[in-house]
Amino acid sequence: MPERVRFTIDGQPAEAELRFKRAAAQFRELAAPFWLAVTLLEYGEWLAGEGRDAESAPLLEEARELFERLRATLPGPAPRAQGQPGDPAGS
């Protein structure tokens, strides 16, 4: 998880979740797909880090789809939900 996100949410999971949800809703309303995808990615990674893989999977999938549609590339490996092909836990 990016340091900028971790700094703002450490020790406050309820507040973190509320902020992620508000941000995603605002980016949907503004029709800002890139920033929506970034938010969904960071929210999904945070959920996964909290052990909430089932909740993170659809967010990470939507983020991946948005990035692909925008033809945006991310540094590092592409995010994928745990249990998908290629993931050691899903093989």
Q: What is the mean pLDDT, run by run of 10 residues, along the chain of 91 residues?
A: 55 84 96 95 91 96 95 70 51 40
The size of the chain, in residues, is 91
**pTM metric for this prediction:** 0.73
pLDDT the model gives residue 82: 56
Cα gap 28→1, rounded to integer Å: 22
Q: Would you say 91 and 85 are in contact if contact means Cβ atoms under 8 Å apart? A: yes
Cα gap 37→66, rounded to integer Å: 6
User: In the numeric block, which tokens belong to residue 45?
Assistant: 């990674």
